[in-house]
Chain A
Amino acid sequence: AQRVTQPEKLLSVFKGAPVELKCNYSYSGSPELFWYVQYSRQRLQLLLRHISRESIKGFTADLNKGETSFHLKKPFAQEEDSAMYYCALFSGYSTLTFGKGTMLLVSP
């Protein structure tokens, strides 16, 4: 069975500090991995996907198949980055599994 693990419930940093939100997955097939974000009073929305190798709002995430990880990183956190972040895995059977989420708080 597929599983997504986000070990940190809460990550608190100061503005300008680097951020790394951890995500590990368990899946026997070829994973499709995503990061979703939920800002206060907004809908859950896609932040980035591994296949695109993109940087969104300064965030990047690299798929490491050897370590089965897909950590989200940003070199300099901003206050507006404060939100709930979810790592997600999409399987070939159309199931979309989320981790428990990490709340990122960026203080001034």
Chain B
Amino acid sequence: SQTIHQWPATLVQPVGSPLSLECTVEGTSNPNLYWYRQAAGRGLQLLFYSVGIGQISSEVPQNLSASRPQDRQFILSSKKLLLSDSGFYLCAWTPGQGVNTEAFFGQGTRLTVV
């Protein structure tokens, strides 16, 4: 069966420090991968998505970047965190092919920038 792992679950980082959040998927190949930020009143904001290794699409300009070094690994990064980067980050995947496919979400990472 397919599973998605996202870590860490919580993170407190000082302003100006780097960030690296990891997400890995098991039990499937060639998934579409997504990073979302979930904020009260703003819902789920799509940050990045990837349809293959090294292919990253950014939905919103920001202080963050994403990389996909392996087929089932998706990393969210920042060189210097801002206070406004605080939030709840969700990784998700969908099958690379097919229609009306379900998205599966990780447990999320609560990031607090202090």
Where the two chains meet, the residues of A that have a C-beta atom closer than 8 Å to any C-beta of B are 6, 9, 32, 34, 36, 43-46, 49-52, 86, 88, 90, 94-101
A90 touches B106 (CB 8 A): no
Instruction: Name B55's closest neighbour in chain A (CB-CB).
Output: A94
Q: From residue 72 to 114 of chain B, which have CB atoms closer than 8 A to chain A?
A: 90, 92, 94, 99-103, 105-108
Other A-B contacts than A34-B103, A98-B36, 12 sampled, CB-CB below 8 A, are A6-B43, A32-B100, A34-B102, A43-B105, A45-B105, A46-B102, A51-B100, A94-B32, A95-B59, A96-B34, A96-B94, A101-B43
Which among B36, B43, B59, B99 has the greatest number of chain A C-beta atoms within 10 A? B43
Query: Shortest Cβ distance from A88 into chain B, in angstroms?
Result: 7
**How many B residues touch A, CB cutoff 8 Å?**
24
Alpha-carbon separation in the docked complex, A49 to B102 (Å):
8
What would be 9 A-B contacts, judged by CB atoms less than 8 Å apart?
A6-B43, A43-B106, A44-B90, A46-B103, A51-B99, A94-B49, A96-B49, A96-B103, A100-B42
Residues of A within 8 A of B32 (CB): 94, 96
A49 touches B100 (CB 8 A): yes
